[in-house]
Amino acid sequence: MEKSQYIIVGLGNHAKKVLVPSIIESNAIIVGIVSRSCNKVKGFNCFESINTAIKKFPKANIVISNPPEVHYKTLVSLKNFKNIVFIEKPIFTDFNQVVSYKNDKSLFDLNIIEMMMYKRTNLYKIVLKKLQKNLNEKKIDYLRIVFLIPELPKNTFRDKSNLESSIIYDIGCYAFSFLFDLNLKFEIQNINFNFMNENNLLKKIVMTLKVFMPYEFDIEIIFGQAENYENYIEYSSGRVVRNFSPFFNGKQLKKKVHTEIRNGNKLLCFTREIQDQNGFTTIFKYPNGIDREIQLEEYFFVNSYLELIKIYIKMNCNYEY
């Protein structure tokens, strides 16, 4: 059986440390790298343009792994491409890009897979199933979504002060992609944010959402940079609180399900571990097709809320972007 071929666009640290080994582990071949710095690329065919790479390897799938602010521009350059286009999240960093994508048939017809790797893990399936069951039974009292990293890596796109390169899209897309899967109707009640004083990079966002369908309860979303790494989904259902961590993570590692049960004055706590699969390898090995209409609905859902956050921040600070 002929092995799948891949061309990677952009060879940053994430691509080197995660994407390259995951593609190889999926029993596929990396036939080319597209980079502006081919002199620094070792061990692979390197091309300075996507078109040149595609002409050389017409059967190859494309993996877009350059900075988020150029994801959509790179996608536009692939109009009428026949193979699969894998794109690191987020695809879009502006709501107008989603509208443009919808209205351009040559883009809309592309076979796109946004690489939300956490959705390829066992923990994601477990949490989604539990939450959907509890939501159907109206048993969720609150939901908390937290994704904080200890530092914003330097010498990457995160050094740029424009909001398209900020935590709004790079990290915020996770929370809203998951809320889309829960099929909730809600409104934003409150947004708080702050910046890093030394370079005016957006540091942290704290939000409160009011769910009104299927019934009323609150959601708290916290994402950005903090002293310690935190990455979890937590919900309360009556006397039970459950925490799943790390949730937005596609790597093969042990994940924890922590449960607290209030019984009168007693608090019972226990934790179990789940050895999760590698979502990165899975997505390359089994690139399941996605319904384009559902995919488009998710793009509009996620990016409409991220756009609202961006507009709110621009209106409520004096910083020029």
Query: For residue 137, how far is the Cα from the chain centroid?
Result: 28
- Both 38 and 126 in one domain: the answer is no
- Both 139 and 42 in one domain: the answer is no
Does any domain span residue 161? yes
Does any domain span residue 262? yes
Q: Answer whether 63's CB lies under 8 Å from 35's CB.
A: no
| CATH number of the domain that residue 93 is part of | 3.40.50.720
- Both 134 and 266 in one domain: the answer is yes
Number of independent structural domains in the chain: 2
- Calculate mean pLDDT across residues 35-57: 94
- Both 168 and 268 in one domain: the answer is yes
- Both 140 and 260 in one domain: the answer is yes
- Residue 231 has a pLDDT of 98
CA atoms within 13 A on the CB side of 211: 21
Q: Answer whether 301's CB lies under 8 Å from 180's CB.
A: yes
DSSP state, residue 30: E
Query: Could you give the strand order of the β-sheet that contains 29-34, starting from the edge strand earlier in sequence?
Result: 46-47, 29-34, 5-9, 61-64, 84-88, 111-115
Does any domain span residue 92? yes
Tally Cβ neighbours within 10 Å of residue 94.
17
In the numeric block, which tokens belong to residue 81?
Answer: 């491409």
- Both 256 and 195 in one domain: the answer is yes
Last residue of a domain, one of 77, 99, 117: 117
- Residue 2 has a pLDDT of 85
- Both 148 and 285 in one domain: the answer is yes
User: Which residue(s) pair with 258 in the sheet?
Assistant: 243, 271
Does any domain span residue 320? no
- Both 254 and 290 in one domain: the answer is yes
Choose between 159 and 142: higher pLDDT. 142
- Both 105 and 131 in one domain: the answer is no
Does any domain span residue 193? yes
- Both 96 and 196 in one domain: the answer is no
Last residue of a domain, one of 59, 94, 117: 117
Does any domain span residue 225? yes
CA distances from 57 to 7, 32, 52, 102 (A): 8, 8, 9, 28
Which residue reads 């477990």 in tokens?
A: 126
- Calculate mean pLDDT across residues 134-160: 86
- Both 137 and 269 in one domain: the answer is yes
Last residue of a domain, one of 61, 86, 117: 117
What predicted TM-score, i.e. pTM, was given to this entire model? 0.93
For 268-312, write each residue's pLDDT tens digit: 999 999 999 999 999 998 887 678 899 999 999 999 999 999 999
- Both 169 and 301 in one domain: the answer is yes
Does any domain span residue 293? yes
| CATH number of the domain that residue 277 is part of | 3.30.360.10
For 210-251, write each residue's pLDDT tens digit: 999 999 999 999 999 999 999 999 999 999 999 999 999 999
Which among 36, 27, 25, 38 is positioned nearest to 4, based on CA atoms?
A: 27
Which among 48, 62, 124, 132 is positioned nearest to 91, based on CA atoms?
A: 62
Q: 195: domain range?
A: 119-315
Query: Could you give the strand order of the β-sheet that contains 217-225, starting from the edge strand earlier in sequence?
Result: 185-195, 202-213, 217-225, 142-149, 230-237, 240-245, 254-263, 266-275
Residue 207 has pLDDT above 50, yes or no: yes
Does any domain span residue 321? no
Q: How high does pLDDT run on average in the chain?
A: 92
Which among 246, 302, 306, 301 is positioned nearest to 279, based on CA atoms?
A: 246
